[in-house]
Amino acid sequence: MVKKVGIGLLGLGTVGSGVYRILTERGKTLTQRAGVDVEVKGILVRNPAAGRRVTVEGGLLTTDPERILNNPDISIVVEVLGGEEPARTYIERALRAGKTVATANKEVIAKHGVELLGLAREQKVDLLFEASVAGGIPLLRPLQESLAGEDVEAVYGIVNGTTNYMLTAMDKEGLDFAEVLAAAQRKGYAEADPTADIAGHDAARKLAILASIAFNTQVPIDKVYCSGIEEITAADIAGARELGYVIKLLAIARRVEEGIEVRVHPALLPQGHPLSTVDGVYNAVMVQGWAVGTLMFYGAGAGQMPTGSAVVGDIIAAAKNLFSGLRGQPRVGFAPGVPVIPLEEVETRYYLRLRVVPEPGVLGVVTRLCSQEGVELVSLDIKNWGQDSANLIIRTQRVKEKAFRGALAALRKEARVHEVESYIRLEGED
């Protein structure tokens, strides 16, 4: 027997219109597959007169949140407004009113997931957020269900399409950061204020959520180390390419003996690495498990229909829980448990480019200064040996962040080193 479920949408922008299209255009398939008949009962927007990507049945649009949050015919609220407030308050109110919530909002989940999941448990309703990480790519449910028996050792990948588009364009077209950013904004791949993307905050929020699910522990957003792509230059990309690497903004969560490390930063990846060919606005996440080995999830990390697909997946899961009486039994608690280790203790390899005084002995000086701080070099190449300066391109062994910082400070004090031009972490080669 087909069961009816009422849905309220908070927002009808990019994602909301994708959700609405899938629910209305593919409703029959959903009914056949899930045995539920999903009906949209109301949609909150700011401006009902604005042009829309979808044609919506008359009377559904409203500017009054009470028509959704206080509507007894609505059991599932879909939050796709974006931003922290009023989205967080509306989610809380929906949960308190006994409604299940599906959201695509990484900011709210990364910052308030703990309280909201606790509230959902108390209220015996669900709070689902598959679309908050990597848009259309199923990640959170596979981690919680298909990989429930797995001891996850690491999750890492490319989770921000804007920065991946920009790095790809810098690599393929040899353009500099500012030119690529302007092009991304013209094409609608970067927002007018691109800070959240290029500074890595968007990726950090997604990583906090992903790591919390993968390791079943609370990973507070302020514990995620985050450095963006603003400082990456065309010279870095060309230098990386010459050595056989590409530069990607990586989000990395790894279990180590003392806890877990969580970090977002640009990294050099060898050209043969599976993530090195993930180009443009695409996302990909690798999951490394003790038994399963390495898996790769790849696809559209954003966009109207892919993100809409992830939200609709949550709606169907929520509807099934509603009718089977399994509501309010979240598999994740985001409970504190495993400590996040401080960045100084994180071990990585480094690529380092110096401009030095071109005189005999300078290689020895640089090697000694690094070694004194515990930084051993894997390779040291000389480029552009000129009258006044030469470039040294260095790759280090694995080293703790604090030792690397010590070497950097020593190099910066050294008179024969004109400048530390660039340093980028090296991943994917251990």
Q: How far is the CB of 86 from ligand NAP (least distance, A)?
A: 5
Inter-residue contact 16 to 105 (CB < 8 Å): no
**Strand-pair category, 245-256 with 152-158:** antiparallel
Q: How far is the CB of 54 from ligand NAP (least distance, A)?
A: 11
Q: How far is the CB of 82 from ligand NAP (least distance, A)?
A: 3
Cα dihedral 32/33/37/41 (nearest 10): -130
- 27 vs 212: CA distance, rounded Å: 33
Best CA proximity match to 157, nearest among 63, 55, 253, 59 = 253
- 267 vs 81: CA distance, rounded Å: 32
Q: How far is the CB of 81 from ligand NAP (least distance, A)?
A: 4
Inter-residue contact 45 to 63 (CB < 8 Å): yes
Total residue length of the chain: 430
206 is catalytic: yes
Q: Which is nearer to ligand NAP, 61 or 356 (by Cβ)?
A: 61
Q: Which is nearer to ligand NAP, 80 or 322 (by Cβ)?
A: 80
| Number of neighbouring beta carbons within 10 Å of residue 53 | 13
Q: Which is nearer to ligand NAP, 283 or 391 (by Cβ)?
A: 283
Footprint of ligand NAP (CB under 6 A): 11-16, 44-47, 50, 80-82, 86, 104-106, 131, 135, 302-303, 307
Q: Which is nearer to ligand NAP, 91 or 411 (by Cβ)?
A: 91
Q: How far is the CB of 391 from ligand NAP (least distance, A)?
A: 40
- 25 vs 17: CA distance, rounded Å: 12
Beta-bridge partners for 265? 250
> Which two three-digit tokens encode residue 247?
């530069």
- 218 vs 206: CA distance, rounded Å: 13
Q: Which is nearer to ligand NAP, 104 or 352 (by Cβ)?
A: 104
Q: What is the largest CA-CA distance in the chain?
A: 84
Nearest residue to ligand NAP, by Cβ distance, number only: 13
Q: Which of 99, 106, 206, 223 is catalytic?
A: 206
What amino acid positions are annotated as catalytic residues? 206
